[in-house]
Amino acid sequence: MVIHQPPPDLALAAPARRSPRGRGDAGRIAARRRILDVARTLFAERGFAATRVADVARRAGMSPGNVYRHVDSKEAVLRAILGEGLDGLEATIVEVADGYGPARRKLELLIDRTIAFHAANPELAIVLGSLAGDVGAEALAGLDLEARAERRHAGLRRIFAEARTEGAIAPGDPDVLAALHAAFFSGLLVAYRARWTDLPWDAIRAAALRLVGHRPAG
């Protein structure tokens, strides 16, 4: 690996001092990130309704009052967690759907990136799956869950329709395949929860590809 050294004037320059305001902003961002990360784990472990702000504060190592300095309510925390996670999942799908290359490669890339996304965000599907009856519509206001789901479905449909056209999968309805793909990963995460990371990824990949009728090259 080639390591590029900085020019002498940059290498010898004293590090820039951050203003007190800059340090304060960084501290607030870090504290809010800590609250969201802790809350996401607790919501997955206990459910949204059973998790109190005091529980989040205790595990985050701060007082409930300090939590409220960074978030307005437990519902606001839930909306932030779901918004971040669903944005990331949608971006994963759209990036593959909009990409160039053979449909078979895009299909395989979709499976690989979906596995990687859920490995990095295992609580998302669990929290979503546990919300039925736990929260009212007002708690999720502004998230547009149906519109987000439609966009994800549209992206998946494009990938499967292209794969069908190029013979990368067996003939099948792209809408059905999109639903099966989404349900496979959501169901696996909800059913296995903490054991998700113990499952062999190569087996998950092979099962996800077989589910949509993948036809290997050659």
Position 10 pLDDT exceeds 50: no
What confidence tier does 147 reach under pLDDT thresholds 50, 70, 90? Answer: very high
Q: Does CATH number 1.10.10.60 belong to domain 20-71? A: yes
pLDDT in tens, 51-73: 999 999 999 999 999 999 999 99
Kindly tell me the burial class for residue 84, based on how many C-beta atoms sit within 10 Å of its own C-beta (0-12, 13-18, 19 or more).
Answer: middle
* Domain chopping of the chain, boundaries: 20-71, 74-218
Fold equal for 20-71 and 74-218: no
| Full DSSP string of 20-44 | HHHHHHHHHHHHHHHHHHHHHHHHH
- Domain 74-218 is in which class? mainly alpha
